[in-house]
Amino acid sequence: MAGVIIRRIGGSLSARRYMLGALPLRQRLACESQCQLARRSAPLHSSAVLERLVSFHLSDIGEGIREVTVKEWYVKVGDVVEQFDNLCEVQSDKASVTITSRYDGKIAKLHHDVDSIALVGKPLLDFEVEDDDENDSSSSSSDDESESPKDVMSAMTLPGQLTPGKVLATPAVRRIAMEHKVDLGKVRASGRNGRVLKGDVLEYLQLIPQGTVKPHPTLEKPSRPAAAVAASASKISPAFVDLKDAHTVVPLKGIAKAMVKSMTEALKIPHFAYCDEIDVTKLVSVRNQLKEEAARRGVKLTYMPFFLKAASAALREFPILNSSYDESAESVIYKAYHNISVAMQTPNGLVVPNVKNVEQKSILQIAADMNALQDRGTRSALTPDDFANGTFALSNIGIIGGTYTHPVVISPQVAIGGLGKTRVLPRFDAAGNVTAAHIMVVSWTADHRIIDGVTMASFSNLWKQYLENPNMLLLAV
């Protein structure tokens, strides 16, 4: 049996459930209703027993990131959310990450505004959640879900359970539906993205009055058409601004802020530069022969996969260019894997993810990996792993139109190549005749503390040999 204990504490009433045995849901809800009525009899009292405040901390995103910029909040104070609902999107110096909820509860406080800096390990927002003595008083954005897999499996395999289909609901809600043999497909959903909430099931069972649970804002129709809002906004005349005093202060954030730090550190390294030109006429012909077959396999084949594969083949002969320098230990760390970083433009700015294990992949596999990186970059969906453990870098400035460049070494890497625009220029062939040739200029930059000019020039000559005779890539190990 069960009952409700009503106690007066300091002139106010508090109510608390206690269970002397396992009871059906209807009786448990009756007890909860009595508790709520007891609380209402003392309107100035807020029971810390039935609900509590939980701080939701920003978890470690990885790659040594200690701070992020809040790009967008998907919730506001007072919103009711469920587990796995999106809370906000944050931007590190490398990628965007969507933070999801661990709790069912109400948003009590947002600790940061949009475009402000949030620190890893510090509170991101506060929840009001139902009290549970077994839960901790704070959580992290990477904590495990509140129900163990064992509990979920037991809820899924208990006798008499109805198949819920593809209805969105938490295991706790499914358990209630199973106990009362309720088909969740027949319950009106009021949660985000059509999720069935506990209150929806209780309304369906007529245990609480209809209309108690309010639909999520995304399910409600806007009270005013968007076209009308846009039309009224267009009628508002812009305010007059005195151009003599007008100026805008834009704080650096995200990728721009990270570039200040990384470039400041990089320019402490003594750079050595070396340039050469490559006749890629044969490579142009080979690529034209292969691009249609690659497209048939769903891969866009550009020149960059050839450049990466040739670099990987040359790095086998000059492994010091695929190393990093440990300044504190005064030692060189040689890397067995070739994770070649590639600079690419995205809506958030220039980023440098890397293609993993180029030495183990074919040109078509490298092209597929680059297509995937470019797609994620366009959607601002690159992850910290896409940037991790780069060992060498190539930057194709030629797609913008430049010919010569002086790229900056990305620490802790020790070398980078800048590729210029390929131009059709007159050149002498083997017979001394003037012919049209496709010429590309490459500009190498290296950490002069451990890379000397002979090493860089020798590497460049071998890389050039592979590109001027692309069939040699078939012989590369």
Nearest C-alpha neighbor of 87 from the set 53, 48, 59: 59
Q: The tokens of 373 are what? A: 């990186």
84 close to 100: Cβ distance less than 8 angstroms:
yes
> Peptide bond before 412: cis, by omega within 30 degrees of 0?
yes
Strand ordering across the sheet containing 117-119: 96-100, 86-91, 67-73, 117-119
Structure tokens at 17: 């459930």
Give the helix, strand, coil percentages of the chain, each rounded to 5: 30, 25, 45
CA gap 57, 125 in Å, rounded: 7
Residue in the structure block whose two tokens are 């060992």: 391
Partners of residue 73 on adjacent β-strands: 88
Q: Which two tokens stand for residue 216?
A: 């999520």
C-alpha torsion sign, points 77, 79, 83, 84: negative
Beta strands in 92-224 (DSSP E): 96-100, 105-110, 117-119, 123-130, 138-140
Q: Is 180 a catalytic residue?
A: no
Task: Give catalytic status of residue 448 as yes or no.
Answer: yes
The vertex-66 CA angle with 62 and 70, nearest 5°, equals 95
Question: Active-site residues: which are they?
Answer: 448, 452
